[in-house]
Structure formats: C-alpha cells, structure tokens
Amino acid sequence: MSKIRENSVSVNGDGNAVGDGNQLTVIKNEHHNHNHKHNHKPSRTSGSSSSSDEAAPIVFGLGFVMIAACVVGSYFFALHAQAVYAALQLVTGAELLAALWLMYLTFDEEGTLKPKLMSMALLSTLASAGLFGAHANYREELTAMAQAAKTATQFWCGMNDYGRELSLLHMVTGIAGFGLGSMLLAAPTGAMLAERVFVGAANGKGWNLIERLSSWGFIVFGAVLLLGAAYMHTVSGWETWTSTFGNPPTFFCKNVPAYGR
C-alpha cells in the first residue's frame, strides 16, 4: 500500500499555492500526440448510417453524465473525506458489535453458531480493516486542493493524472464500495436484531420483511462490494485501477482558471 503514496499530487498550472502556508510542487506538462492512421472502411448502407447517427447523441450524453459525476463526486468526497471515513468506521464497528452480541445470544440459547452471523462478523471485521487501510491511503492534499478550489472542475483540472486517479478511487470505493456495502450488511444485522425483539409475534407483513432482509442475498452482495473496495486499496488493486481508469478525461480543462483565480 505504501507504493500507492509514493507519487505526488501535483498541481497543473503556474505558481499555485494550496492550503495554509503549504506550497505544492508545480508541474506543468504538455503532451502532444499526433496519430496518423489511414483506415479504409467499407461503405455503409443508409440504414446503418442512420442508426449510428441516432445513437451518437445518446452515447455522448451518457459519457457526459459519467464524466460530470466523476468530477463532482470526487470534489465533494474530497471536501468531506474525513467525516465520511469516520462515519463508515462507526457503522462497521456497530455492525461488528451487533453480530458478536447476536452470536453470543444464539450460542447461549442453542449451543450453535449460525453461518449468517459468523459471516456478518467476519465481513464487518474485514470492512473495518479495509476502511483503515483506505483512510491511511488517503492524501490530505486532496482535501486542501478541494477547499482551495472554487468549483469542481477547478479541483479536477488542478491535479495531475495521479491525483485524479487517487481522488476517483477514494470516491468510488468510499461511496459505492464501503458505503453501499455497509448498508447492505446493516439490513440483515438489523433484521436479526428485530427478530430477537419480536420473537413469538404472529406472522404478518412485518415478519415477512424481516425474513427477506435477513436473506443471504444482502450478505453476498454486500460482501462483494466491501471486499472489492478493500482490494482496490492494495498495491495490486491500485495497479488494476490505474490500468482500467488511468488518464481520466481533461479535455474540458483548457479554459478552467488556476487556483485563486
């Protein structure tokens, strides 16, 4: 995990200072790529050309929405990263304590341990460990840059590729991985707690809801998200992330003012 932090979150621009008395290294890189390819494609029929023309605005619109979500989401996550990680640690800690308490009650009454409770306790432990690693991997420069930026695009365009990749990684794993995964794990935990409270109650809609929420589906789906998010903050996970989402788009950054302008 230490290799992930070796690079510097640089600012692209001229003489930008971020934070209170913190001077960041300024790196201004210009890359000119000239690709000349001669493609000889067979002529298309009017029908296929018409279908392509109709699909183009849809594809462009979806691409624009995805890029906007990445830029805005990374900006707001960087602004509130410490609070988000602290809240997620509290949630996973509470889930672990609830699972251990249910395991104790079940073993005391039945002399056995339910596989669901054991799985939930294990997943909560792994989620807490993964969150600790992700939080340790977070760079405070990202928050300082987000606070100094006036807009989400200024924050995004002020970083180099490494900064954008790292910011996007924390946003995706924090919200879609640890966040949603913890919520899915909280559903069966809460349902099993409710089952203890309402034991002996007559069957009804409430009882059926408890049964559905405590299903293996929530546990398995939550496990995939939590373990996937934790993996992405390892060295091999970082390499997988950068090879898949490396060089985030910056085509809209040409006219974005630098920090403090």
pLDDT, one tens digit per residue, over 217-250 is: 999 999 999 999 999 999 999 999 999 988 899 9
**What pLDDT does residue 190 have?**
87
Provide the pLDDT for residue 122: 93
At residue 36 the predicted structure's pLDDT band, cuts being 50, 70 and 90, is very low
- 84's tokens: 């988000």
Characterise 229 by phi-psi region: left (phi > 0), alpha (psi -120 to 50), beta (else). alpha
As a whole number of angstroms, the distance between CA 87 and CA 203 comes to: 35
Range of lowest pLDDT (93-102, 109-118, 152-161, 177-186): 109-118
Quick: pLDDT tens for 189-201. Answer: 888 888 777 765 5
Confidence at 31, pLDDT banded by 50, 70, 90: very low
Q: What is the pLDDT of residues 12-27, one digit of tens each?
A: 544 343 444 443 433 3
Q: What percent of the chain clears pLDDT 90, i.e. is strictly above it?
A: 51
Q: Which pLDDT score, from 0 to 100, does residue 26 have?
A: 36
Domains in the chain: boundaries: 50-245
pTM confidence score: 0.77
Whether 77 shows a pLDDT value over 60: the answer reads yes
What pLDDT does residue 205 have?
60
The pLDDT of residue 52: 57
Give yes or no for a contact between 133 and 51, defined as CB atoms under 8 angstroms apart. Answer: no
Task: Tell me: pLDDT of 29 over 50.
Answer: no
Q: Are 225 and 181 in contact (CB under 8 A)?
A: yes
Mean pLDDT of 42-63: 60
- What confidence score (pLDDT) does residue 14 get? 44
pLDDT band of residue 70 (cuts 50, 70, 90) is very high
Please give the average per-residue pLDDT across 74-93, as a whole number.
95
Q: Is the pLDDT of residue 149 over 90?
A: yes
Distance between CA 243 and CA 249 in Å, rounded?
14
User: From CA 192, how far away is CA 134, in angstroms rounded?
Assistant: 29
Q: How confident is the model at residue 109 (pLDDT cuts 50, 70, 90)?
A: confident
**pLDDT higher than 70, residue 55:** no
DSSP string covering 158-174: TB-HHHHHHHHHHHHII
What are 223's two structure tokens? 């496990």
Average predicted confidence (pLDDT) for the chain = 80
For residues 16 and 158, is the Cβ–Cβ distance under 8 A? Answer: yes
Q: How confident is the model at residue 202 (pLDDT cuts 50, 70, 90)?
A: very low
Q: What is the pLDDT of residue 209?
A: 77
Contacts of 146 (CB under 8 A, 6+ apart): 75, 78, 79, 155
Backbone angles phi, psi at 64, to 5 degrees: -65, -45
